[in-house]
Structure 1
Amino acid sequence: MAKIVCLGEIMMRLTAEAGTRLNQASQLAVYYGGGEANVAISLANYGHQVSYASKVADNAFGQAVKNHLRSYGVSIDFLLSGTGRLGTYYVEQGIGQKATKVVYDRQGSVFALMDELEWDLKELFAGIDVFHVSGITPALSGNWRQLTLQLMQAAKAAGCKVSFDCNYRQTLWSQEDAGEFLQQALPYVDYCSAGRLDAIYLLGIKEVDAEVAHYYQAMQQLFPTIDVFFSTNRKIHSTSVNELQGTLWFEGQCYTSKNYGIDPIVDRIGGGDAFTGGVLHGLLSGKAAQETIEFATAASVLKHFVNGDCNQYTEAEVIQFANSDSAKISR
């Protein structure tokens, strides 16, 4: 199996019980998660050797993050601690036609305030096959935009493949700022999670009435060093009922998974990270392109059925689900 480093901010998530408003909640369920941490856990579940690089508060909440990652087999050798606070976010669960609401409280976190790289980069990337990061990290601050580029450059210099999830968050930065960063970052990327909307609104590709393959091809023309593009297409019937299908662009061909109806959704947060983890696992395990996209989409669908941010399924369980046509009891 492969050796992987994922880097980003992990936060404490506080979630109100379904049917309860945040401003009326008397108790909140506690989870820990973040885009890159969720990918790390998925890959560890599939048997890869995964390290998570971040910085957390030197207090009980930081210790809880360490316990969370270790419980899934993720190495915390590069998880720094410092005086300050752990970023948090709050979730008010959606029901029916009411969307889920997320309130962030991450400004001034110990990770967001980092102004220099505190890792030995030769040690961080020694023997590593893939470095994974997302667009959330450079969106946190001007410093992190420069630090993210330095990390990507160092990873490439060390011979690592670089995986990047655009993961645009409009509450963190503008489309213009995100697009400017992508122009600088994507030349260093090998595997890229980006879809039609990213192509149009972040990369300036003209919108046309065409399938997603058109946008993959256009993005690869702009950034020919990227080997793989991937994304999901989600159709929302209600907060509790979605359809999901995955697509993968590899060697000039577009591969599409079967379409899943997800009903009911227990927790959608982290579904995209489970998809990214599934794609990376397929690529690193030498799976064929069609097998990879089927596996990744099935992994994403399964994440919707468990609480919390991270995928909790093994490779065997994902494959069994992908090959199953019914929900009969498994005995």
Structure 2
Amino acid sequence: MKKVVTFGEIMLRLSTQTGERLSNAKQLLMHYGGGEANVGISLSHFGYDVYFVSKIPNNPLGLGVERHLLSHGVHTDYLMTGGERLGTYYLETGVGERSAKVTYDRKYSSFSKLVVEELDFDEIFKDAALFHLSGITPALSAGLQEAALIALQKAKEHGVMTSFDCNYRASLWSHQEAAEVFQNLLPYVDICFCGELDAIYLLGIEQASDSLTREEKLVFYYKKIRELYPNIRYMSSTFRDVISASHNVLQGTLFVDERLYVSKKHVINPIVDRVGGGDAYAAGILFSLLGSLSPQTAVSFASAASALKHTVSGDCNTFTQEEVFQFAENSSGKISR
């Protein structure tokens, strides 16, 4: 099995029951999750040898994280202990026209205090095929900005394919702060998960003409990104039409060799849990590229994986590649030139 490395924070998630306000809740549902951990768990279920790099406190919650990862087949060799707390976030579940709402409690977490000197990237990237991280990691501290950059540089030194999900979070930093960091990271990225808003607000690309379709706009932005960063071989994102908090229409896109491949539309109604849907999609793309699947198969598989994630509770996707392929069998798509 190919070795995959992901690097990021895993947190405790506490969620309200559907129809309940966080401020009025008497009990909360508990899950563990985080972008890079969720991607790693999906890839583990798809058959890859996944290692998660992070830092957790040496307490029962840290032990819960380790057991969570191991239960999904993710290796914890590079899971360090230290610090005093696990980052937490609270999810007020959306319903109907009321959107879900996230409240973070993650400052001073064990992971946010991690410094690059604690990481042996030569050992971590030994025999690795893929390295994945997201924009959430460098948003957490100056030390993690340095660690993210060095991690990408070291991965390239070791000949490892690199993946970066912009995953901008306005509650963590400003557009300007993120833009400065991302523009330092992107020269070392092979696969980039980004969309129209990332192109405009983080990479400074001018807005496309309103006369273009949304697919044509995305092609415009992706071509502009390629001009800035010709090292990026693949770009991917999703179109999401939000009918309500429990009814979305999802469609995946993958840009490679100057072509945009688009999946069929998945009508997801009702949504059981939207959190982690983007991570499931990213994992589907990464699985497909590692396996040298065709671009159309890749985007169909990834969108199917994301649609399936919306049907289960918790942050992570536990479907196998066989289950996703079976679900995606009737998928069709097109190439937008």
**1:150-189 equivalence runs, <5 A:** 150-189=150-189
| CA distance in 2: counterparts of 1:117 and 1:226, whole angstroms | 28
Query: What is the CA distance between 1:234 and its match in structure 2?
Result: 0.4
Task: Identify which of 197, 220, 223 aligns with 2:229.
Answer: 223
Query: What is the CA distance between 1:116 and its match in structure 2?
Result: 3.2
Q: Once the two structures are superposed, what CA deviation does each residue of 1:84-114 show, in whole Å capped at 9, x if it has no partner?
A: 1000000110000000011000000011012
SS in 2 for 1:129: strand
SS in 2 for 1:109: coil
| CA distance in 1: counterparts of 2:283 and 2:49, whole angstroms | 13
SS in 1 for 2:53: strand
Q: Which moved more, 1:71-80 or 1:138-147?
A: 138-147
- Report the equivalent of 1:98: 98
Q: Once the two structures are superposed, what CA deviation does each residue of 1:4-23 show, in whole Å capped at 9, x if it has no partner?
A: 10000000000111111111
Using the size of structure 1 for normalisation, the TM-score is 0.97
- Report the equivalent of 2:8: 8
Q: Which moved more, 1:112-121 or 1:21-30?
A: 112-121
Query: What is the CA distance between 1:183 and its match in structure 2?
Result: 1.1
Amino acid at match of 1:3: K
The CA RMSD measured in Å over matched residues stands at: 1.0
SS in 2 for 1:236: strand
Segments of structure 1 that go 5 or more residues without pairing to the other structure are 326-331
Q: Once the two structures are superposed, what CA deviation does each residue of 1:274-324 show, in whole Å capped at 9, x if it has no partner?
A: 000000000001100000000000000110000000011000110111124
- Report the equivalent of 2:61: 61
Segments of structure 2 that go 5 or more residues without pairing to the other structure are 332-337
Contact between 2:44 and 2:73, CA under 8 Å: does it hold in 1?
A: yes
Contact between 2:272 and 2:313, CA under 8 Å: does it hold in 1?
A: yes
Q: Once the two structures are superposed, what CA deviation does each residue of 1:105-128 show, in whole Å capped at 9, x if it has no partner?
A: 000001101233312111111000
- Report the equivalent of 2:304: 298
**1:38-57 equivalence runs, <5 A:** 38-57=38-57
| CA distance in 2: counterparts of 1:232 and 1:117, whole angstroms | 36
Q: Once the two structures are superposed, what CA deviation does each residue of 1:42-69 show, in whole Å capped at 9, x if it has no partner?
A: 1000000100000001000000001111
How many residues align? The count is: 325
Matched, 1:242 2:244: no
- Report the equivalent of 1:70: 70
| CA distance in 1: counterparts of 2:115 and 2:78, whole angstroms | 17
SS in 2 for 1:293: helix
SS in 2 for 1:237: strand
| CA distance in 2: counterparts of 1:185 and 1:83, whole angstroms | 27
SS in 2 for 1:91: strand
| CA distance in 2: counterparts of 1:87 and 1:104, whole angstroms | 8
| CA distance in 1: counterparts of 2:328 and 2:252, whole angstroms | 13
| CA distance in 2: counterparts of 1:26 and 1:117, whole angstroms | 42
| CA distance in 2: counterparts of 1:165 and 1:297, whole angstroms | 16
SS in 1 for 2:221: helix
Contact between 2:116 and 2:146, CA under 8 Å: does it hold in 1?
A: no
SS in 2 for 1:297: helix
The runs of at least 4 aligned residues of structure 1 exceeding 2 Å deviation read none
- Report the equivalent of 2:257: 251
Matched, 1:140 2:146: no
- Report the equivalent of 1:328: none
Amino acid at match of 1:244: L
- Report the equivalent of 1:289: 295
Q: Once the two structures are superposed, what CA deviation does each residue of 1:217-262 show, in whole Å capped at 9, x if it has no partner?
A: 1111110001100000100011011111000011111100001111
Q: Once the two structures are superposed, what CA deviation does each residue of 1:179-205 show, in whole Å capped at 9, x if it has no partner?
A: 111111100000100111111111011
- Report the equivalent of 1:273: 279
Query: What is the CA distance between 1:83 and its match in structure 2?
Result: 3.5
Identity level (%): 49
SS in 2 for 1:183: helix
Amino acid at match of 1:290: Q
SS in 1 for 2:17: coil
Contact between 2:284 and 2:303, CA under 8 Å: does it hold in 1?
A: yes
SS in 1 for 2:236: strand
| CA distance in 2: counterparts of 1:2 and 1:135, whole angstroms | 24
| CA distance in 2: counterparts of 1:159 and 1:287, whole angstroms | 20
Amino acid at match of 2:243: H
